[in-house]
Amino acid sequence: MTEIPEHLLKRAAARKAALAGEEVAEEAAAPGEASAEVEATAPAAAAAADTGSAITEDVGGVPAHLLERSRRRKAAMVGGDEGGAAVPSAAAATATATKAKAPAMSAGAAGGVGPGGHTQRLLTVVKAGSIQQTKGDAQDKVHTWPHLLSLEFASILSMTAIVTIFSALVKAPLLGLADVNKTPNPSKAPWYFLGLQELLTMFHPMVAGVTIPGVALGIIGCAPFLDKNPSNKPSDRKYAISMFTLFLMFWAVLVIIGSFFRGEGFNFVFPWTNKVFFEL
C-alpha cells in the first residue's frame, strides 16, 4: 500500500480539528438554530413541493441541493403510496434533513468529510516520477537489422580488403614442385587437419575419421538445446563454457602434437632434441 506523505496527514488532522471546533462552537452558541431554520425554510419548501418546481436557492442556511433532494425523495415516496396515504408536508422533510445535518457534519469531520458535505477520500498519492517519465526502460535486445548485420557486413569487407592486400604484397611460403620419385618424410597434412591425422595413428580409420568427430560435433550441436540459459555471464553458462573448453583443448592438443612432436616416419620425437618437422 502506498504511504501517504506526512505533510498531507498533518494538514488533514488540522482540518478535522478545525471543523470539530466550529461545530462545537455553533452548538454552544445557538442551541435553537436548528428549529429556527426549520421554521424559516418550511414555507419555501412547502411552496416548492406544491408547485413541483425545482429548488435553486439556499433557504435559511440549508443548501439548495439538499432541499431539492429532499423534495424529490418526498415526491418519490408519495408516488409509491398505494392507498392514497396521508402525505407529510415538505416542511417536515426539511426539518428532518436539517436536524440530521449537524450530527452528520460532526461524524463526517472525523470520517473525512470536507467543506460543503463532500465525502471524497484520498486513496493514494501518485509520485510525479511515474507521470513525468517519458523514456522507457533500457533493454538488452536490439533488432538484427540494421544493428547486427550492418556491423557484420562492415567486418566482412574489412577482412576481405586486408587478406587481398596481404596476399598481393607477401609471397606465400610454398614448397617446390612435387616429385613423384621423392616423397617427403614426414608427410604431414595442413595444420588444421593434423588433429585428425594424429587420431589416425591411434585408432582405426572408421573410429578416428567418423565416430569420434561425429560424436564431438553431435554434442556441440545439442549444446544450445541442453543449455537454454539466455544470460551472457560466464558464471551462469558453466555447461556451455565447459563443453567448448573441452572440445577446444582436445583439438588443440592433437594439433600441437602432430605439428611439433612428430618426426621422420611420423614417429614421436621431442622438438628440443631433434629438429622441428613443421612447415606451413
Confidence (pLDDT) at 205: 92
Q: Is the pLDDT of residue 34 over 60?
A: no
Averaged confidence pLDDT in the chain: 75
Give me 187's grid cell.
608427410
Q: Is the pLDDT of residue 58 over 80?
A: no
Assess contact for 254 and 199: CB atoms under 8 A.
yes
Residue 16's H or E segment, with its range, is helix 6-29
SS3 content of the chain, % helix, strand, coil (to 5): 65, 0, 35
Q: Where are the domains of the chain?
A: 6-131, 142-172, 179-280
pLDDT confidence tier of residue 108, bands split at 50, 70 and 90: very low
More confident site: 136 or 111: 136
Cα 7 versus chain centre, distance: 31
Least confident of 113-122, 163-172, 260-269: 113-122
Note the pTM of the prediction, 2 decimals: 0.41
Residue 35's H or E segment, with its range, is helix 33-51
The CATH classification number of 179-280 equals: 1.10.287.980
Rounded to whole angstroms, the Cα distance separating 244 from 138 reads 31
Confidence (pLDDT) at 1: 52
Assess contact for 2 and 125: CB atoms under 8 A.
yes
For 191-198, what is the mean pLDDT? 90
Strands, E, within 102-173: which ranges? none
How is 40-97 classified by DSSP, letter by letter? HHHHHHHHHHHHTPPP-S-BTTB-HHHHHHHHHHHHHHHHH-SS-PPPPPHHHHHHHH
Q: Is the pLDDT of residue 262 over 80?
A: yes
Confidence (pLDDT) at 89: 47
Assess contact for 90 and 49: CB atoms under 8 A.
yes
Give me 149's grid cell.
548485420
